[in-house]
Each structure stands twice: as C-alpha cells, then as structure tokens.
Structure 1
C-alpha cells in the first residue's frame, strides 16, 4: 500500500508517494521506493497503481546496482536492429573508445550532472566531434529514464565547450581551409593526369567535378552513367566492415540523386571505360563480374582509405595546400557558388538533406567569391 505526501519546492507544491516494493534479493531485506514530482495527488495515485501492477506482474527490477554499461547493452540490443551496418559500427566505436571507459562501470543512478559535464569537457579537449559523443551518451540516459531506471537525465543540460578552432581569428581560419581555389584545382588535376593512373585521375576528377562522396563513386556501376543524357545516378554507397565490402543505400532520401555531367567529364569517363575494357580482356576477365566503374586489378572494390592515401602523397610531393577527401566535395560546392549557382542548386547536387549543411559551406566560401562581391558592388555603384 502506498502512502502520499505533499511537499514544497521553488516551483510550488507537489506530491510524492512511498511504497514497499518487496524483498531485495541481494540483501534479503524489505525495500521501499519514493517517486516524486506529481502535480496532484490523483497523478501520484495513478503512478502508484501502475507501479503496484508492475510489482504484481513481476516486472519490477532492482535498479540500484545497474551500471551505465548494463543500460547501454539493453538499449543497443534494440537500437542496433534499426540502423545500417555502417552506422552500427560507428556508434559501437564511439562507445568503446570514449563513452564506456568513462561511464561504463558507474551505477547509472549515481551519475551526476557535474560528472557528465566534466567528462564532456575532457572529451572536448581530445576530439573535435564531442557533440556526437554527447548525443550518443545521451541516448542511453534517455533510455534509462524511459525504462524507469532513473528519474532524471543527468546529460540533458550539459554544455558543449567551444573548440579552439571556433575561436580562431579570420586569418588563422583561412590557413586551415579545407578546400582548393580554381587555380589549385587546375594544378592538381594537371599533376594527376601526368603522374598517376588513368583510373585514379578519373576518380579525383569526378570528386571535384561532381561533389560526390568517395563511397558513392566507389559503388558506381556503368549502368549508373547515362552517356546520352549526360548524367550520373548516385543511389548507393560502399561500406567496408570486417574485411567485407557492403553496398548500401544512403541514410537520407536526398542522398539518392541524378546529377548532370559536363562534356569534359563524360569524355574522360568514356576514355576510362575503353581502357578498362581493354585491360579486362587482356587479363581474361570482365571486371570481376560486378561491372563496377572503379576496381582493383582483380576486379574487387577499392579500399575506402585508398583515395585518402593517394591524395596525401600527391599534395605532399608537390607542396600543395593540404586538404582531405571531403575537402574536394567542399571545393566543388565553393566553386559552384563562385560560378553563380544558388544555394538550393548546390544543396540538391550535393544531396544535403538539411539546407543548413549547404549554408555552412556557403559561409566558408573562397576569398575569390568575397572579392567578386566587392567588385560587383563597385561596378553597380559606379554606374
């Protein structure tokens, strides 16, 4: 039988109830629970009735010794069945490297807001993607609240510290830019045309001229390219896990897209197709039977890290401004803006589900575009 009591808080008067929940199997002693925060006695009575029913049905568990890792395993057992293999691997990695070592062995009921803030501050000192870590850690706390293991989420109001790069002045930000100017693009493609394989040159050309993700290009088949219409269909991506190659659909509907190709790119693709066909026949095979546009010599898909490694080799050898593979996608967007494309056009071409992602690129557009803006103003005012 539950007992009810009114108590006073800064927000006004609330109700609580206390109830005997039976014998604790670990101590052999009777135990009670107290539930607070009800606006009326009627609400408290309804919650008490629900709890009594759970006890009667044998659903009540002793939450006192449940650790964060216990809750994570419960949550992930269900959540992992609703996400793609690539997402599952990423989430598992974040928990294994950053979250479980800090929270795993702690009793979830004992984890405080202050401790959560301290841990997020420490993580922020070592990695830039601290917000992603907070989001994942928070999922477990939300699940614990949902399952009545804890009453409040200690991670809910934790603040993400600003990263050092967010506080850099404009000059330093320019030095850290992750894109190339038009002149740098021309120089890079001239180098790759003369110094690396045709396959790799075509890959880099496509990354720059289409803004596609590397996983999208490595999943392309020749059926995805329409030479007559001058278009390319991006509808799946290559993912690698445990030494296996997995072709999967993108996370969002917007990532599936049909984009136009310029004549130069089409000509380069035709050249590569002829070269690949000749090479396959010479080796007595037909592209490993998968009809992929880009493969290794034995017809199997390329490693995802291969392009990153190749890009680093070329940029270091020729002292080019260092950027990442994702920076080539950023480069494509920046040059589109310089050419006069609208934000909506760039969003659709890059397959951004959220226009804010496109806007973020727009705010970091190259100095050339900024100079053009000043020039446009000068020409207009002098008319």
Structure 2
C-alpha cells in the first residue's frame, strides 16, 4: 500500500508491504519530490516491482567490496591462472570506480570506463579481457540481487580506426615458419642445439602443442605401441620458481586429446628416454624423478624447464640458423597449422589436433596459407592462362 504526503513544499511517498520470506512488515519511503505526480509514479513503480518479485533493496556495498567477495567465489571454481588474470583485470575497475556503490554504476558509467581505457591506448585484446571480467562481475551481482540492471550489458569495446597512412606503414607480422625454414631450424637444433633442444622443437613442430602442454608431458603420456602422446595437463609457473610449478587442466575441454605422432619422432623419443635413463643413473639420488619427458639435467635435475628457457633457446637457434623472423615457441602451432593446410587437412581435423574448443578459433586465428601455397596458386593460374595474354588479348 502506498501513501503520498506533502511536507512543506515537497511531496513524499511511503510504501508498505509484507516480506514473503520473513513474514514481517516492511516500509520504504522517499521524499523531496517537487510534484505529487512524480512521487506517485515512483511509488507505483515500486509496487509493481514488489508484485513481480523484481524489487532489489538498495544497499551500500561498493564495487571494491563486492570485487573481493566475487574473487573468493571465482577462485573456488576456476584455475589458478584464470584467477590471476581476473585479479589483474579487476584493478582497472577498482581504480576507475574507486569506492562507488554497485547500485550507482550505470550503463553510461561503464561505457565511459571502456572508452577511457581505449583513449589511454590499451590494446583491443586487453580491453576484451577487462570487459569479460566486468560482465562476469556484474552478472553475479545481479544474481545476488545486489543490483537491478547489469551496467555492462550492451556495452561496446571501442575500435581503433586506422588511417590510410597507418595501414600503409603496417607491415604484416610473420608468426610462422615456412617448410624450408622449419627444416633449417630443426637441422640447426640437431647440430648446434643444447641438451633437449632438438627433441623439444621437433615435438612442437610435429604436434602443434602449446609450450605449457609440452613441458607437462610425462612418460606415462607417451604410448610407443600406438605412436601417440596424450595431452591431459599444462605446466604453470608464473613466478619462475623451479619447485613451485603447478600442473593444471588444459586450456579447454577440447585440449584433452590423443595425438598420432610421426614414427621418426617417436624414435627420437625412444633415444631421449634412453639418454635420460643414463642421466638418472649418473646422478642417482640427486635426480628428482617426477616422470617428465623434458626434464632439466642440471640445476634441480628432473624438474620441468621454464617456458622462458624454451624462448631463450629458440632465439639462440634462430640466430645460428640465420632465420630473421619475429617468431616464438608458440609460432610452432602456427607453423604446424600452415603445413597441415598446405597438406590438404580439413579445418575440423586441425581443430581437434590443436585442441581448440571452438571451430571459430581455428578459422579466425589459423586460417592462413603459407607463401609456398601462394606461390603455387600463382603458378597454377599462370599455367592456366599461359599464352592467352599475348595471343588473345594483346
């Protein structure tokens, strides 16, 4: 029931109702209206929300306070690496919204927040991650009846519109190796590589594994009878502390997979296993045998290497092989995909081999062709049109 009253020159309303949960009588009042009609309209809106069960009582919880609560909830239902990322992204919300109440953050505020980060030069991928965290945060606040509407709904990440000059000056970044470059690199790794270099980069090239997946491989994942390796985990060590690593579940459900490997690669695995057994025999109790395929030989032998170590070793081999390209260990996934496409393998098979949870990831990120394929396409067209230009056209 609503009551409209005039106090001095201002109007106010008071709405009473019976709380269906506690069974107690509740009231909500608000004053300061210049017109009686305005007070009545808001009172009627409150009564409608009470009838429909959509009423959310205003609270004083701030974004910072709820962010702490949400992170604790998120930590119980996600991987350590994901929680670390969300914590980092939430810092932007904490800075921008400071001590604002959740109920006071509007869609206009949220869009201005994204626009401001864009103006400061944050990359689109960074903004996408921040926006994803924002959607998750406010969705949970909505579920808890702490807010009436989700301010992140309908928000858009601003896009940078390149000028003609910027497009002309923007050289394409090459992120994979051509077949001949891959062969040169692997030959260099075999002839001039440090311990484990050849088998590590051979594995990346012939499997398309993520580096973390490779470092997490154990001998129990290797099946010499079927020539397969099983991917069930990934290596995580953000602080680069040898003994403080974690083995986490793979990036997506589709990342759990069994890969058929080249027979020659499996022979190299056998050689590596024999060599590793010799290292164990030589070191005895000094070797920490956790069963890792790519285990250190010195400085805590038996523990998996850092991802940074793989990156450093790749830079060394690129220099020795004379390959001047801005590529990283992750580029072997691109290289593997490019060569699969060149070999005529379908996108669905590529998706399964790379462990992508979504076919769109395969199509959007890896749907590129190598220079060899471009050259072949040009040659085939030239062959088709051979003589036509001079005889029939010119």
Q: Name the TM tier (shorter chain).
A: 0.7 to 0.9
Q: Does 1:207 align with 2:201?
A: no
* Distance apart, 1:164 and its partner CA: 6.9
Match for residue 277 of structure 2? 277
Q: Classify the secondary structure of the residue corresponding to 1:233.
A: strand
Task: Quote the Cα distance in structure 2 between the aligned partners of 1:285 and 1:166.
Answer: 63
* Distance apart, 1:341 and its partner CA: 0.9
* Closer, same or farther: CA 276–139 of 1 in aligned 2, 3 Å: same
Match for residue 228 of structure 2? 231
**Equivalent position to 1:330, from 331, 334, 337:** 334
Task: Quote the Cα distance in structure 2 between the aligned partners of 1:166 and 1:132.
Answer: 26
CA-to-aligned-CA distance 1:173-201 (integer Å, 9 cap, x gap): 53x12111112212222222222224122
Task: Quote the Cα distance in structure 2 between the aligned partners of 1:210 and 1:188.
Answer: 16
Q: Which moved more, 1:227-236 or 1:285-294?
A: 285-294
Q: Does 1:19 align with 2:28?
A: no
* Distance apart, 1:18 and its partner CA: 6.4
Task: Quote the Cα distance in structure 2 between the aligned partners of 1:149 and 1:245.
Answer: 38
Match for residue 261 of structure 2? 261
Match for residue 389 of structure 2? none
Q: How does 1:310-321 map to 2 (within 5 A)?
A: 310-315=313-318, 318=322, 320-321=324-325
Match for residue 14 of structure 1? none
TM-score by length of 2: 0.77
Task: Quote the Cα distance in structure 2 between the aligned partners of 1:170 and 1:278.
Answer: 56
Task: Quote the Cα distance in structure 1 between the aligned partners of 2:160 and 2:348.
Answer: 29
* Distance apart, 1:218 and its partner CA: 0.9
Match for residue 120 of structure 1? 114
* Distance apart, 1:352 and its partner CA: 0.8
Match for residue 177 of structure 1? 174
Cα RMSD (Å): 3.4
Q: Specify every segment of 5 or more residues in structure 1 that has no aligned partner in the other structure, as ranges.
A: 5-16, 22-29, 55-59
Q: Classify the secondary structure of the residue corresponding to 2:245.
A: strand
Kindly indicate whether the alpha-carbon contact (under 8 Å) linking 2:14 and 2:28 is maintained by their aligned counterparts in 1: no
* Closer, same or farther: CA 78–44 of 1 in aligned 2, 3 Å: same
Kindly indicate whether the alpha-carbon contact (under 8 Å) linking 2:71 and 2:87 is maintained by their aligned counterparts in 1: no
Q: Classify the secondary structure of the residue corresponding to 1:134.
A: helix
Q: Classify the secondary structure of the residue corresponding to 2:270.
A: helix
Kindly indicate whether the alpha-carbon contact (under 8 Å) linking 1:165 and 1:173 is maintained by their aligned counterparts in 2: no
TM-score by length of 1: 0.79
* Closer, same or farther: CA 79–381 of 1 in aligned 2, 3 Å: same
Q: Does 1:360 align with 2:356?
A: no
Task: Quote the Cα distance in structure 2 between the aligned partners of 1:219 and 1:166.
Answer: 44
* Distance apart, 1:351 and its partner CA: 0.8
**Equivalent position to 1:100, from 81, 88, 94:** 94
Q: Classify the secondary structure of the residue corresponding to 1:19.
A: strand
Task: Quote the Cα distance in structure 1 between the aligned partners of 2:41 and 2:81.
Answer: 41
Number of aligned residues: 350
Match for residue 9 of structure 2? none
Match for residue 26 of structure 1? none
Task: Quote the Cα distance in structure 2 between the aligned partners of 1:206 and 1:283.
Answer: 26
Q: Classify the secondary structure of the residue corresponding to 2:356.
A: coil
* Closer, same or farther: CA 122–295 of 1 in aligned 2, 3 Å: farther
Task: Quote the Cα distance in structure 1 between the aligned partners of 2:40 and 2:375.
Answer: 63
Kindly indicate whether the alpha-carbon contact (under 8 Å) linking 2:213 and 2:234 is maintained by their aligned counterparts in 1: yes
Kindly indicate whether the alpha-carbon contact (under 8 Å) linking 1:38 and 1:44 is maintained by their aligned counterparts in 2: no
CA-to-aligned-CA distance 1:42-62 (integer Å, 9 cap, x gap): 9545246x85xx9xxxxx6x5
Task: Quote the Cα distance in structure 2 between the aligned partners of 1:316 and 1:39.
Answer: 74
* Distance apart, 1:117 and its partner CA: 2.6
Task: Quote the Cα distance in structure 2 between the aligned partners of 1:133 and 1:181.
Answer: 35
Task: Quote the Cα distance in structure 2 between the aligned partners of 1:198 and 1:349.
Answer: 27
Q: Does 1:308 align with 2:311?
A: yes
